[in-house]
A and B are shown apart, each in its own frame.
Chain A
Amino acid sequence: RKEVEQDPGPFNVPEGATVAFNCTYSNSASQSFFWYRQDCRKEPKLLMSVYSSGNEDGRFTAQLNRASQYISLLIRDSKLSDSATYLCGPSYNTDKLIFGTGTRLQVFP
């Protein structure tokens, strides 16, 4: 089983839609979790950190389920500018940050 698994997508949604991505991780020692956003041919940029049960920032909500070992990202009222690849990354005690393959989101008008 891969350390981090994500549905690669693409998720094609209309503007204004709500979309959710899941990310499962295999190492229960994971201490903290991050969602990064990566635009085409650009570097990943931090979107949200998740340290306890969840985190909310505007239209974005991240939730953590330690028992089932997954984190989710919910995007409400999707914008065209949300089109990107979303990477999840749990980190471990050693601070090594491993990423999933990413989920591609395409928002259309």
Chain B
Amino acid sequence: NAGVMQNPRHLVRRRGQEARLRCSPMKGHSHVYWYRQLPEEGLKFMVYLQKENIIDESGMPKERFSAEFPKEGPSILRIQQVVRGDSAAYFCASSPETGSGTEAFFGQGTRLTVV
């Protein structure tokens, strides 16, 4: 049973380009979370999704950022018109559909560098 898979592991974008980060949850998991981590800082919650639904996006910037988790395929975090401040590690986590209290498992992250 493969763990949470994120790709790419490293992504370099020029300012103004789009960044697409992918996350395939563990088999049987239908809950996906995205976090951003700046160097020497903690994990900042961005968005929580279930299949085809955004449950909580209170941590998402209002502009340029969007997330989806389609019925088929991975969850996608999309950043449009990237700026230097978007450079960070983006972690995805997944948990099974068993209700409150279930721990989340993390992918290895995507390190985005905006040049």
Contact = CB atoms under 8 A, between A and B. Distances in A.
Contact of A99 (B45, B99, B105): B45
A98 B103 CA distance: 12
Q: What class of interface size applies to chain A in its complex with B?
A: 20 to 34
Interface residues of B, number: 25
Chain B interface helix/strand/loop/mixed? strand
Interface stretch (B13-21, B70-78, B106-114): B106-114
B102 interface: yes
A49 B105 CA distance: 13
A80 interface: no
B48 A95 contact: yes
Contacts of A34: 103
A99 B43 contact: yes
**8 tightest A-B CB contacts, nearest first:** A101-B42, A32-B101, A43-B106, A99-B43, A31-B100, A102-B42, A46-B103, A96-B48
